[in-house]
């Protein structure tokens, strides 16, 4: 794990307030979160789970994630309420190759905890970590039906980079339009010094 990520993670656990006044705690995934993390995915309706790339209903998949935590590659930042995991945003980094400067972000919030600003808070933290890690861009991929997510990422400053008709297949092999959104992570100061 890079020094900058280690430093950035010292901010956690972090207390935040949801719109309805409930308190949530943001913190990275730990090795012993397996059961509780699996419960989050079990709470996601089947029609939405089909769009998730991994077989998250299988506890073995979650066990594998919890056993092989490497924040420098995949950093899952959890949102918990009363000790229960209710949301997760992940920063995925490629450690080499032509996308090594681009962090991929994804997010998921339990249906009972949506509309409370949790995803916005999780992604905002993840983007701050991405900047600290020296990443220059963030990207997020969707299928066109994930309209709430597309709207939320647009509000956070992401713009559509590409849309490809019938490009991806869900778990039932049904094709969907693919949308890639992106955000430049360079700070204003960096732009200013580059210009001056």
Ligand X SMILES: CC(C)(COP(=O)(O)OP(=O)(O)OC[C@H]1O[C@@H](n2cnc3c(N)ncnc32)[C@H](O)[C@@H]1OP(=O)(O)O)[C@@H](O)C(=O)NCCC(=O)NCCS
* Binding-site ranges for ligand X (CB under 6 A): 48, 106-109, 114-120, 140, 142, 146, 148-149, 151-152, 155
- List phi, psi (to 5°) of 95: -85, 0
For the CB of residue 167, give the shortest distance to ligand X in the complex, in Å.
Answer: 16
Residue 71 or 87 with smaller CB distance to ligand X: 87
Given a contact cutoff of 8 angstroms between Cβ atoms, the answer to whether 118 and 109 are in contact is yes
Residue 9 or 141 with smaller CB distance to ligand X: 141
Residue 66 or 106 with smaller CB distance to ligand X: 106
How many CB atoms within 10 Å of residue 25?
A: 15
For the CB of residue 189, give the shortest distance to ligand X in the complex, in Å.
Answer: 27
For the CB of residue 120, give the shortest distance to ligand X in the complex, in Å.
Answer: 3
Which contacts qualify for 16-22: CB closer than 8 Å, 24 or more apart?
Answer: 16/121, 18/81, 18/113, 18/116, 18/117, 18/118, 19/115, 19/116, 19/117, 20/116, 22/81, 22/116
For the CB of residue 155, give the shortest distance to ligand X in the complex, in Å.
Answer: 6
Residue 114 or 186 with smaller CB distance to ligand X: 114
For the CB of residue 37, give the shortest distance to ligand X in the complex, in Å.
Answer: 15
CA–CA gap between residue 160 and residue 151 (Å, rounded): 11
Residue 18 or 69 with smaller CB distance to ligand X: 18
The residue to which tokens 């066109």 are assigned: 144
């Amino acid at each position: 794990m890079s020094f900058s990520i280690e430093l950035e993670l010292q901010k956690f656990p972090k207390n935040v307030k949801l719109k309805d006044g409930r308190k949530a705690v943001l913190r990275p995934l730990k090795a012993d979160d397996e059961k509780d993390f699996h419960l989050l995915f079990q709470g996601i309706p089947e029609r939405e789970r089909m769009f998730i790339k991994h077989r998250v209903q299988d506890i073995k998949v979650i066990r594998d994630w919890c056993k092989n935590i490497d924040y420098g590659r995949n950093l899952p930042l959890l949102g918990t309420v009363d000790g229960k995991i209710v949301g997760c945003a992940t920063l995925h980094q490629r450690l080499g190759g032509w996308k090594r400067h681009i962090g991929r972000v994804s997010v998921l919030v339990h249906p009972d905890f949506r509309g409370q600003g949790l995803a916005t808070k999780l992604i905002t933290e993840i983007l701050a970590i991405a900047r600290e890690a020296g990443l220059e861009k963030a990207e997020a991929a969707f299928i066109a039906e994930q309209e709430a997510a597309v709207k939320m990422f647009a509000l956070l400053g992401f713009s559509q980079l590409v849309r490809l008709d019938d490009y991806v297949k869900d778990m039932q092999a049904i094709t969907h339009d693919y949308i890639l959104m992106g955000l430049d992570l360079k700070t204003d100061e960096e732009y200013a010094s580059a210009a001056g």
